[in-house]
A and B are shown apart, each in its own frame.
Chain A
Amino acid sequence: NAGVTQTPKFQVLKTGQSMTLQCAQDMNHEYMSWYRQDPGMGLRLIHYSVGAGITDQGEVPNGYNVSRSTTEDFPLRLLSAAPSQTSVYFCASSYSRWSQPQHFGDGTRLSIL
């Protein structure tokens, strides 16, 4: 089925470890983004991309890196995990940055010990 696929669904890390959250979409969407969802904070934009080779920072980019080498994939990298990065991470995509609605993946639940 077409949609946004996120892997893994769950992950536990130790402080200081690094990891990559994967996001792939098969809808040929140009725009992709990463959000984190925290209790009492709602969803906040981390990074986004308007097309292959183009990325930009969102509201809370510190501690995260992204790249967009293909239209389909938009991985999110945690360079040195911190407990404050414990959250649920959602990837979303849409045809363009101005089009709605955005399609969301099912999320990655990340715990940093």
Chain B
Amino acid sequence: KQEVTQIPAALSVPEGENLVLNCSFTDSAIYNLQWFRQDPGKGLTSLLLIQSSQREQTSGRLNASLDKSSGRSTLYIAASQPGDSATYLCAVRPETSGSRLTFGEGTQLTVNP
């Protein structure tokens, strides 16, 4: 059974710092990996999607990398801002079960002004 772990569970940084969020998964037979953002009381917003054949994806100040063989992904946030404060979740989709996603529990990020 696929398990997804996110470390750290919570992170507090001053504004302007570059930071890295980690995601690991136990079964490397994945179709893709996705990073989401969740604001309090809201649903999930997709940030980046990395296909299993890709190494990284970038969107603005966000960069996500994928090392499928070692079961790891990182989300790099450059020059963090208070507006980046949210919970970040990663989810993997397996090769064989279609759209079923397995989620990590998330990293709660606080960026202090």
Binding site for B on A (CB under 8 A): 4, 31, 33, 40-45, 48, 58-59, 90, 92, 94, 97-98, 100-107
Tell me if A98 and B46 are in contact (CB < 8 A). Answer: no
Binding site for A on B (CB under 8 A): 4, 32, 34, 41-46, 49, 89, 91, 93, 98-106
Name A106's contact: one of B32, B41, B91 (CB within 8 Å).
B41
Complex-state Cα separation, A44 to B42, whole angstroms? 17
Tell me if A43 and B49 are in contact (CB < 8 A). Answer: no
Tell me if A98 and B99 are in contact (CB < 8 A). Answer: yes
Starting from the known contacts A42-B106, A100-B46, A104-B43, 10 additional A-B residue pairs (CB-CB under 8 Å) come to A42-B89, A43-B89, A43-B103, A45-B101, A59-B100, A90-B44, A94-B99, A101-B34, A104-B45, A106-B41
Name A101's contact: one of B49, B89, B102, B105 (CB within 8 Å).
B49
Q: List 12 A-B contacts (CB under 8 A).
A: A4-B43, A42-B89, A42-B106, A45-B100, A48-B100, A90-B44, A94-B99, A100-B32, A101-B46, A102-B44, A105-B43, A107-B42
